[in-house]
Structure 1
Amino acid sequence: MSKIQEKKPATMYENVMQQYNQVADSMGLNKNIKKILGITNNEIIVNFPVRMDNDEVKIFTGYRVQHNNALGPYKGGLRYHPTIDVDDARALAMWMTWKTSLAGLPFGGAKGGIKLDPRDYSIRELERITRRFTYALGDNIGPDQDIPAPDVNTNAQTMAWILDTYMSTKAPSARSQNSHIVTGKPVGSGGLEGRDRATGFGVFLTIKLFLASQGKDLKNKTFIVQGFGNVGQWASKFMVEEGAKLIAVQDAHATLYHKEGIDPVALAEHTKPRKGSIEGFEGTEEIKPEEFFGLACDILIPAALGNQINGSNAANIKAKIVAEGANGPVTGEGEKILLEREIAIIPDILCNSGGVIGSYFEWLQNRHGEIWQLDEVMQKIEKKLTENFKKVEEAVKENKVDWRTAAYIIAISRIELAYTQRGIFP
């Protein structure tokens, strides 16, 4: 008697394609444009050698997938993670296309990274790996071609290494023209004041605006955060400052709970000497990882990796709002369950778009040779995010659809218009 095979969970790419096809059909997207947007423009895979500290040479695999550039240069992060592959990069690149379009930015979408766990390497090894990857990518990236940014397990330092390596391959006379090859750089290397907190601020602001649209605010609201990297830390800080209470945090190492509230600033300090781990934070109770999504709270912020909320755990969620701080944290099956239970989802392409909006301002700052102050930058990001939120809110009401569908309709329609007006060569 043959065994009954369990249904294999959908990959992130299958998830994003399901979302895309469903919305494209519902909005009557031009069939030819649907074909174009359903594929990636370029998929770059590079294998490159790097000498380790012990003099051993290791081979690494890096990816850069460029989905679409109808609206402008490719834009998207680079992540260092052992699970990254070309399939994930395809999905993440497509989400970036929708995100930049929804935000009204002159960018397309790309994504990539290197298959590794950065905790296994010294800082000098990571520098050599990053520089060699940049060199291997060559002219596939560039300030008017494809502009990388930080993502999972990469940061401002990573971008500084990419910037220096890229500029070192150019003639001295051209180097000053290439400082916007990456965004998310250190401020001292042409980075933007506030770029570090832009994504987390966007998560916080969209939650605040969503509640305000219902006549509510964040005061005394409880929330839980999965993933306590850059996005989770800043989102939590802004949420707590607005009067909300962080009662649980989960990362790859531990799941912490404290009913009376967790101080996100103190927790962030705790993680610094522990390679980002929240484990062992004093004053909290460590609970089983599988209990996390079932905790009673008002707001859930998944800010880790994709496909975390799925058909096996969506029914356990007690939050009334799921704010997608990560890219693609909810599968199609998970989303169906949440919506049936009338749990609102603030979609990733809106919720975590503060980062790419901040990147756009950094790109502009470098192009124009300007320097903007923190308060000015945050005002610009808040204004742009608020405008985008209002557009999606209007589309929700006008089309009588959920928030993700409304956001996708706006994003895809803008690209469709560009193709309709410009035509297709030849």
Structure 2
Amino acid sequence: MINTQKINRQSMYETVMNQFNSTADIIDLNPNIRKILGITNNEIIVHFPVKMDNGKVEVFTGYRVQHNNALGPYKGGLRYHDTVDIDAAKALAMWMTWKTSLAGLPYGGAKGGIKIDPRNYSDSELERITRRFTYALGENIGPEHDIPAPDVNTNAQTMAWIADTYMSTISSSERSHNQHVVTGKPIGAGGLEGRDRATGFGVYLSIKLLLETRNEDFKNKKFIVQGFGNVGYWASHFISKDGGTLIAVQDAHASLFNENGIDTEALAQHCEPRKGSIKGFKGATEIDPEDFWGLDCDIVIPAALGNQITQDNAFKIKAAIVAEGANGPTNSEGEKILLEKGITIIPDIFCNSGGVIGSYFEWLQNRNGELWQLEEVMEKIEKKITQNFHKINSEVKKRNVDWRTAAYILAILRIETAYNQRGIFP
């Protein structure tokens, strides 16, 4: 079972701060800029009431943390999960700052969500919860200020509700110019063709590019995936089409294994009416969750929640590559063990950046009144990810460091350059 509890020895926030501070030491980051980047700009907590289907009122807690906007508007997802709290939002917002900087986008970093298990609410209740949360956030979000997107347990429909609520609560003269207040919307509501698969495609492409540097491909490669939501499914879809074999999947309800391969599309169809659960799928055998990480495979893709690969299980991993489809899935102690074992970690701020890159193109499409076809969008995303891969690969070779360190160096140096050129007000 996926561990949704905090790791006692290290929280996600401690992990991201460790990563930031170690990189700042390596590049001798300007101490004044280090102080700025070491804290968040804004931490917003809202409590809001919503009437349930039975007429009773529940009060919910929502969060939006804005870490840094030196490079442009805040950008980051909203998740609906019972692990959402201020520390998790702070960590995820900081990761978004590094992710958008590394990707070369004109964005900063933010993150947030509602502490809620959406499976306990009807669709009409989730709509009211989402609209009331949007209203509570008010001017803390905006198309040139802070642009939310889907994340864990939120989707295109969630974004459509947010966009509609936001546009309904601003002046009529501004409504037509604010469709890009969120990204990840349905196609009919201004969404981007291909945004649904962009994150998973990026995970697939990052692994493909790494394999190519080793004169390898996906043929005869076995992979396992933790989490079979949007990211886990699309990554599995593209890897399977390119010759890889999915042999195990884990989510909060079950761990499945089939040494001959799991049919990605059949599993996705099984999950659809069950709100995402893989449990009960007939095309694989259920195994003990403790055995999942130690399965004999070539590639591990954690695509669920943070702090999943830790000092408690990292030693079990036999794969050559860990590709971080989730944000912060590996804590510092777990990472140390993986690196000592010679395992290459494709870091989250690069590996799953396809989503925010896709979001950028959706934002541009809305902003400029353009319309792009699926093939065109995927080409744009592939070109951007490939460029970023080669930059990181060069940094790895030049400095003789691991992939995460190289990615962090590039991300933080870009922000430092912006501060050095602009100065600090006043």
- Shift in Å, 1:220: 1.3
Tell me how far apart the structure 1 counterparts of residues 284 and 232 of structure 2 sit (CA, whole Å).
17
| Residues 225-236 of structure 1 aligned to structure 2 (within 5 Å) | 225-236=225-236
| Residues 112-131 of structure 1 aligned to structure 2 (within 5 Å) | 112-131=112-131
- Shift in Å, 1:8: 3.0
- 1:259 counterpart residue number: 259
- Shift in Å, 1:411: 0.1
Q: Deviations over 1:254-302 (max 9, x none)?
A: 0000000011111011001111100111121000111100000000000
Is the 2:263–2:283 contact (alpha carbons within 8 Å) kept by the matching residues of 1?
Answer: no
Tell me how far apart the structure 2 counterparts of residues 359 and 93 of structure 1 sit (CA, whole Å).
16
AA paired with 1:223?
Answer: F
SS in 2 for 1:198: helix
Q: Kindly indicate whether residue 286 of structure 2 is the aligned counterpart of residue 279 of structure 1.
A: no
- Shift in Å, 1:19: 0.4
- 1:406 counterpart residue number: 406
AA paired with 1:121?
Answer: Y
- 2:3 counterpart residue number: none
Q: Deviations over 1:75-94 (max 9, x none)?
A: 00000000100000000000
- 1:163 counterpart residue number: 163
Runs of 4+ that moved beyond 3 A: none
Q: Deviations over 1:303-338 (max 9, x none)?
A: 000000000100001111000000000000000000
- 1:172 counterpart residue number: 172
Tell me how far apart the structure 1 counterparts of residues 283 and 128 of structure 2 sit (CA, whole Å).
39
Tell me how far apart the structure 1 counterparts of residues 184 and 220 of structure 2 sit (CA, whole Å).
33
SS in 2 for 1:228: coil
- Shift in Å, 1:155: 0.1
AA paired with 1:12?
Answer: M
- Shift in Å, 1:9: 2.1
- 2:381 counterpart residue number: 381
Is the 2:299–2:322 contact (alpha carbons within 8 Å) kept by the matching residues of 1?
Answer: yes
Count residues with an aligned counterpart: 420
AA paired with 2:84?
Answer: I
- Shift in Å, 1:174: 1.1
- Shift in Å, 1:177: 0.2
AA paired with 1:62?
Answer: G
| Residues 24-423 of structure 1 aligned to structure 2 (within 5 Å) | 24-423=24-423
Tell me how far apart the structure 1 counterparts of residues 149 and 197 of structure 2 sit (CA, whole Å).
14
Tell me how far apart the structure 2 counterparts of residues 50 and 312 of structure 1 sit (CA, whole Å).
40
AA paired with 2:9?
Answer: P
TM-score, scaled to structure 1: 0.98
SS in 2 for 1:411: helix
- Shift in Å, 1:171: 1.8
Tell me how far apart the structure 1 counterparts of residues 171 and 68 of structure 2 sit (CA, whole Å).
29
Tell me how far apart the structure 2 counterparts of residues 420 and 29 of structure 1 sit (CA, whole Å).
11
SS in 1 for 2:99: helix
Tell me how far apart the structure 1 counterparts of residues 95 and 276 of structure 2 sit (CA, whole Å).
26
Tell me how far apart the structure 1 counterparts of residues 83 and 381 of structure 2 sit (CA, whole Å).
32
Tell me how far apart the structure 2 counterparts of residues 381 and 102 of structure 1 sit (CA, whole Å).
14
SS in 2 for 1:294: coil
Where structure 2 has 5 or more consecutive residues not aligned to the other structure, the ranges are 1-6
- Shift in Å, 1:173: 1.9
AA paired with 2:184?
Answer: G
SS in 2 for 1:124: helix
Tell me how far apart the structure 1 counterparts of residues 83 and 406 of structure 2 sit (CA, whole Å).
31
Tell me how far apart the structure 2 counterparts of residues 383 and 283 of structure 1 sit (CA, whole Å).
36
Once superposed, what is the RMSD of the aligned Cα atoms? Answer: 0.6
Tell me how far apart the structure 1 counterparts of residues 164 and 77 of structure 2 sit (CA, whole Å).
17
- Shift in Å, 1:392: 0.2
Tell me how far apart the structure 1 counterparts of residues 174 and 339 of structure 2 sit (CA, whole Å).
52
Tell me how far apart the structure 2 counterparts of residues 164 and 144 of structure 1 sit (CA, whole Å).
17
Identity across the alignment (%): 73
SS in 2 for 1:293: coil
Q: Deviations over 1:43-92 (max 9, x none)?
A: 00000000000000000000000000000000000000001000000000
AA paired with 2:47?
Answer: N
TM-score, scaled to structure 2: 0.98
SS in 1 for 2:293: helix
Is the 2:258–2:285 contact (alpha carbons within 8 Å) kept by the matching residues of 1?
Answer: yes
AA paired with 2:68?
Answer: N
SS in 2 for 1:318: coil
SS in 1 for 2:178: helix
- Shift in Å, 1:248: 0.2
AA paired with 1:250?
Answer: Q
Tell me how far apart the structure 1 counterparts of residues 171 and 59 of structure 2 sit (CA, whole Å).
29
Is the 2:98–2:109 contact (alpha carbons within 8 Å) kept by the matching residues of 1?
Answer: yes
Where structure 1 has 5 or more consecutive residues not aligned to the other structure, the ranges are 1-6
AA paired with 2:163?
Answer: L
SS in 2 for 1:326: coil
Tell me how far apart the structure 1 counterparts of residues 262 and 160 of structure 2 sit (CA, whole Å).
33
Tell me how far apart the structure 2 counterparts of residues 183 and 234 of structure 1 sit (CA, whole Å).
18
Tell me how far apart the structure 1 counterparts of residues 304 and 339 of structure 2 sit (CA, whole Å).
21
Q: Deviations over 1:149-201 (max 9, x none)?
A: 00000000000000000000112221110000000000000000000000000
SS in 2 for 1:90: helix
Tell me how far apart the structure 1 counterparts of residues 356 and 11 of structure 2 sit (CA, whole Å).
24
